Structure 1
Amino acid sequence: MTRILSLCFILLAAVSTRLQAQIHFSTADDWETVLETARQEQKNIFIDVYTSWCGPCKRMAREVFSDPAVGKYMNDRFVCIQLDAEKQAGHPFFRLFKPNAYPTYYWLDADGLLLDSRSGYMPGETFLQAVHEAVENQKGKRLKEFTTRWKGGERDTAFVEEYLFEVLPQFHPDSVRPFLNQYLAGLTPEQLRSPSTGRMVMRFTRNLEDDLILRTLLGQSSSYREQLTQEEVDKAIYLVLVRIPMMHFNTDKNLYAADLQLLNRLDYPDKELYNKIREIEQKLFSAQYGEGLQQAVELCQAHEQDHPSFYSELYYTLIISKFFQPDYNPGTEELSATLHLAKKAFHLSPSQNTLSYLAAAYARAGNYRKAYQALAYLPFYKAPTLSNAVYPLLGIVFDREKGE
């Protein structure tokens, strides 16, 4: 009996030691209490934002937060909080910070100013390195400093780029676009034509909004093409005038109709040309490949000198419209047009991306020897290469266990 009791005490002691070693989290229902505790204990604050369904969140809890070395380091220096992003969505913390991924970690000082934030799974050693860097970064103080300078009227280009694209998005990502519109409104015509302004507005092509950002991008596109690379400017314009509306064409016809109304109101270079491109893309997304491909080739040939990137853009549309899926059997003319687009795309802009297009076109036509030859040359060409998400659309599926 004595031996059994001794064994129980040993097991309890081991469990107790293990629990003491891991990070001690609280749910922090009262945010002011958290701040007061941090001030009294002279500690910073660590917040782990998770969800119940998040695999990396569970892995962090199992492998990292339970690690004795991590637990001791964090408990000695931080008031540690865990917040469920869904069940505790109304928590005051989420009025200040809006995570875009899970898990997301926030390190704050005792006054609630952000030191740093990170997302995703990381091993214990990497996590502790992130903690060290967070304490050094002092991002909250940086935001306060930059906001004061902005309100004071500072508009130096380097400062604006750093404030709008590095500092502000970490706290108030929804404020960046209004701030950039405000900045553009104060520029002279010469400043609007500058390459630095072009680089700024080209970063806002993920949404179609009738504002000064869009009007500047479209209105100054000729100047930007001369000062920046034609390919990057054309890609940005194609994204906002074609990709976004066509995404809505495939998902929400009401949004697509609103996009067309907005674009019809605007006056911009090559307006009729982009109207025609959207008509071609509608045919491709509606599986009218014969007519769509013929019109795509004709349009690309007519604008090869002024818009060479159209070959790549329309070929990419062919991929995401599921032309390469095995359940579709293309005709000879369609295969010929596809190969023409791919050859031209590669010739005009050789890269791993366009070389992959060429290999896919050869394979779709059944010429596997040339397809393999093209793929063999991939390492000799510059990035970008295809996104992993594109391979299934080409009918290519990798066996992750075999590495094939």
Structure 2
Amino acid sequence: MTVQRASARLLAEIRRSHTVYSYVDVISPTQERVRLPATGGEVSCDRTAAVRRTCKAVCVDPLGTLVPSDTTSLLTPYGTELRPYRGVRYAPTTEHPEGEIDVLPLGVFRLSKVTIQDTTGGSPDIQLEAFDLSRTVARDKFTSPYVIAVGTNIVDAIKGILARTFPDLSYDSISTTRTTTAPRLYDVGDDPWDAVTELAQSLGCDIYFDVEGWVVIAPPADIDALPTPDFTYVEGERCTMIDLSRVFTDEPGYNGVVLTGESPGDELPPVRAVSWDEEPTSATYHLGPYGEVPQFITDQLIKTVDEAQATADQLLRNLLGFSSQLSISGIVNPSFEAGQVVQVVRARSHVSGLYAVDAFNVPLDVSGTQSLTLRQKRTAGGG
């Protein structure tokens, strides 16, 4: 998982009273770029959603020059991209009398819908809706049968499908020696994003577009392997958490993966691997009172027991922790990516642990607060 690195100065600044600075860069298919101040809206990110990131922005065009007049205008949903940013403006100094700006990118989005709200006595509000580039890939359905040849490297197969829509993508990807053992056929009308998601899953990986528009192909974060959290919400001075709610649930509740590799074309018998929650201190420990609740997965790209076991172990990391969920709100941290790990400590709610970030929002307006959906894998300091 790629993580955008916020400066230590920015992370310290958002823990106290600060001046929010946000804007949206609008980029035409011919790379014309216009910057609009953002007065409202938000970017939302959800690791479990079909489209990971969405953007809704309210911008002001004081001169009225960007209000679209026809389908050839910049602010129309025919290939225009949005790149929103949020950060802070530091206090003025001699060197920076207007205050130095420190912002982080929030994603690369294709514009989907534009609404002009024009009221008497003011400049028109431009309301923008957009989705990350995975939606564009999904809409670019296969128009003829698409075949992945025998012996194709799986990461190369993913890149080949994505190149149909975006020929010049940048990648932050694991490397693999795993290949296809039989032709893989996609029919007319099949969804290419579903195809690459399935291929990535066979490697035990997530696939998504990051905040810079790069394609990430990487395993989910392993909370147990992380020595320190990416951000902390520990009650006391400078804690940015406003409130929290805690839910205990057994849905979906999987604490194991049973994976069967049925690789066609190699005349080998199917292989099988099982991965369980093996942590005795976990609420969903498979030998504890919770019992065993497996998810069954069949994958045609897995050929060996070792491959099956490695993939099952990786997929289990995406499933564990839903039995203890937190929803918290707080002061906005624009540096988050789904899958990062935060520490939350709140004594009166008996909360003290490490949590994976499954979903969050980043408001673009000054007064908005941030909401995060978290799931727990282990307690702070636990093994």
TM-score bracket, normalised by the shorter chain, equals under 0.3
- The structure with the greater share of residues assigned to helix is 1
State TM-score, norm by structure 2. Answer: 0.27
Q: Which has the higher contact order (CA 8 A, sep 6+)?
A: 2
- The structure with the greater share of residues assigned to strand is 2
Pick the structure with greater CA Rg. Answer: 1
State TM-score, norm by structure 1. Answer: 0.26
